[in-house]
Structure 1
Amino acid sequence: MAMSGGNAIRGTRVGAGPMGESERGETAPRERVPFYCANGHVNDTWFAADAEIPDTWDCPRCGLPGGRDEQAPPAPPRTEPYKTHLAYVKERRSDADGAAILEEALTRLRASREL
């Protein structure tokens, strides 16, 4: 069976019709808002004309926050190093508190062994 060379619908989807505003309706009024990140990337984002524009928008290229002022983009967020459970405990209790709690626990343990 030979294939015909003139396939008129090559490269189109089944059910695809003419595209345009007549098919989708009119587009809402919108405005382009540039956001600038600390790495110098410019992210042009489109918002509806009546939408509330946020102060920051994450850069799609590097993930840093972008601001509306090109001369003063937001600083990269400070990342906290991973803390162990012991580090959090030491923030809440002094060494003297820890020694007192340990002594109390040892006293209870020794008392339970004597019974």
Structure 2
Amino acid sequence: MSSGSAIRGSRVGSSPMRPDERTEPAPRRQVTYFCSAGHDSIIWFAAEAAIPETWDCPRCGQPAGLDSSNPPGRARTEPYKSHLAYVKERRSEEDAAAILAEALAKVRQRRGE
């Protein structure tokens, strides 16, 4: 038996089969952003929305700006850091040795050594 609240024959978020004659879309404006790779992206915003200075390029992911003659530079990617690199940023060698000695002492105590 199906639920009485289910809407049959449509999916969530689907648009109506035909546009309603009594409605009109909200006013909007298009803004063109330019990235350093030479891509230009047209983004639509609501007419009253604040326009951001930069936008991520949908093609390459780099920052794009409003000025076609002076697009923002490529984003600097941070190198991958392992878990050990983050631990070494937080702890000194002396701290690490003390923590290791404490952990080894607990293990030896449990084993009865």
2:70 to 37, 48, 72: 72
TM-score, normalization: structure 2?
0.62
Query: 1:44-92 CA distances to partner (integer Å, 9 max, x unpaired)?
Result: 3343433321222222332222111223322332222322221111111
The residue correspondences of 1:1-115 to structure 2 (distance < 5 A) are: 29-114=27-112
Question: Equivalents in 1 of 2:23, 2:112: separation in Å?
Answer: 86
Partner of 2:41, secondary structure, is strand
TM-aligned CA deviation for residue 24 of structure 1? 7.7
- Decide which moves more: 42-51 or 60-69: 42-51
- Decide which moves more: 103-112 or 83-92: 103-112
Change (3 A) 1:80 1:24: farther
Could you tell me which runs of 5 or more consecutive residues in structure 1 were left unpaired when the two chains were aligned: 1-15
Could you tell me which runs of 5 or more consecutive residues in structure 2 were left unpaired when the two chains were aligned: 1-16
Give identity over the alignment, percent.
Answer: 58
Question: Equivalents in 1 of 2:110, 2:25: separation in Å?
Answer: 78
Partner of 2:72, secondary structure, is coil
TM-score, normalization: structure 1?
0.61
Partner of 1:108, secondary structure, is helix
TM-aligned CA deviation for residue 41 of structure 1? 1.7
Change (3 A) 1:72 1:24: farther
User: Number of residues paired by the alignment?
Assistant: 97
Question: Equivalents in 1 of 2:97, 2:44: separation in Å?
Answer: 60
Q: Which has the larger radius of gyration?
A: 1
Question: Equivalents in 1 of 2:94, 2:107: separation in Å?
Answer: 20
Change (3 A) 1:103 1:34: same
